[in-house]
């Protein structure tokens, strides 16, 4: 994937890592479209990064995903990059939460069903472009789950698995399938209480772009590389370490 000259849809591009991607990809001369549920946040992002296009939708709702795909085909038929970044997390003890099941459905719909559906909807458009890429955003927790996030870990591990298969099945169509696995990043996601080891979004996205430049299909950002090896060498130790983080 080239770093410039693309038309990119970044889901959840109005906050945190997505917003930083919006800034860095815009600076590299790309047309950037972002979507999210909150119109105010989208307008704020557009004010911060003039020239981007915004679209309000709730990706957890199937009809919103269908409308988004139609809007893209009508307004940005040159779309050649899809970044599935939007996600939510519930911090809970699933066994004690009376709403655990409802929350799980929401997380699965947002973090897993939506990326799969968007890929399905936008593949015909992506196939028409001379070069195209799909980037799925996951986490080091695909290797070792954090007990704070019972469903989130599972949705991202499933997206990791799906991405590996998609990369094989899509051949010989030249659409690049890239997964970016982030470590803890200091974003609004952590509600002001990110663990001390969190890196800044600027660093996280700069490393992601470096990985793209180096043609990596699985970009393990920062500490994720260490966790990848640790989980293979000493899985129980890795599990303990991940769950000792504050």
Ligand X SMILES: NC(=O)c1ccc[n+]([C@@H]2O[C@H](COP(=O)([O-])OP(=O)(O)OC[C@H]3O[C@@H](n4cnc5c(N)ncnc54)[C@H](OP(=O)(O)O)[C@@H]3O)[C@@H](O)[C@H]2O)c1
Binding site for ligand X (CB under 6 A): 11-12, 14-18, 35-38, 41, 58-60, 85-88, 110, 137, 139, 182, 184-185, 187-189
Q: Which is nearer to ligand X, 59 or 175 (CB)?
A: 59
CB of 18 to ligand X, least distance (A): 5
CB of 171 to ligand X, least distance (A): 26
Phi, psi of 228 (to 5 degrees): -55, -50
In sequence order, the β-bridge partners of residue 197 are none
Of 87, 213, 191, give the one whose Cα is nearest residue 139. Answer: 87
Of 20, 27, 19, give the one whose Cα is nearest residue 3. Answer: 27
Q: Which is nearer to ligand X, 80 or 139 (CB)?
A: 139
CB of 130 to ligand X, least distance (A): 28
CB of 59 to ligand X, least distance (A): 3
Q: Which is nearer to ligand X, 89 or 126 (CB)?
A: 89
Which of the residues 101, 149, 152, 228 is marked catalytic? 152
Q: Is 228 a catalytic residue?
A: no
Q: Which is nearer to ligand X, 37 or 53 (CB)?
A: 37
Q: Which residues are known catalytic residues?
A: 152
């Amino acid at each position: 994937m080239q770093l410039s000259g693309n038309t990119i849809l970044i889901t959840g591009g109005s906050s945190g890592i997505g917003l930083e991607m919006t800034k860095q990809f815009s600076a590299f001369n790309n047309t950037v479209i972002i979507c999210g549920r909150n119109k105010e946040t989208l307008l704020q992002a557009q004010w911060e990064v003039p020239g981007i296009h915004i679209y309000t939708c709730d990706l957890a709702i199937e009809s919103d995903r269908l409308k988004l795909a139609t809007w893209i085909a009508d307004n940005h038929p040159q779309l050649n990059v899809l970044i599935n970044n939007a996600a939510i997390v519930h911090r809970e003890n699933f066994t004690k939460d009376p709403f655990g099941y409802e929350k799980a459905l929401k997380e699965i719909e947002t973090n897993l069903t939506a990326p799969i559906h968007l890929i399905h909807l936008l593949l015909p458009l992506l196939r028409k472009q001379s070069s195209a890429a799909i980037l799925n955003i996951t986490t080091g927790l695909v290797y070792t789950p954090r007990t704070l996030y019972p469903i989130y870990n599972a949705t991202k591990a499933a997206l990791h698995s799906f991405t590996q298969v998609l990369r094989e099945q899509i051949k010989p169509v030249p659409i690049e399938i890239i997964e970016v696995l982030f470590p803890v990043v200091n974003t609004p996601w952590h509600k002001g209480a990110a663990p001390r080891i969190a890196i800044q979004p600027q660093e996280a996205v700069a490393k992601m772009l470096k990985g793209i430049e180096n043609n990596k299909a699985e970009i393990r950002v920062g500490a994720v590389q260490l966790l990848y090896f640790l989980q293979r060498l000493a899985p129980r130790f890795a599990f303990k370490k991940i769950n000792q983080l504050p």
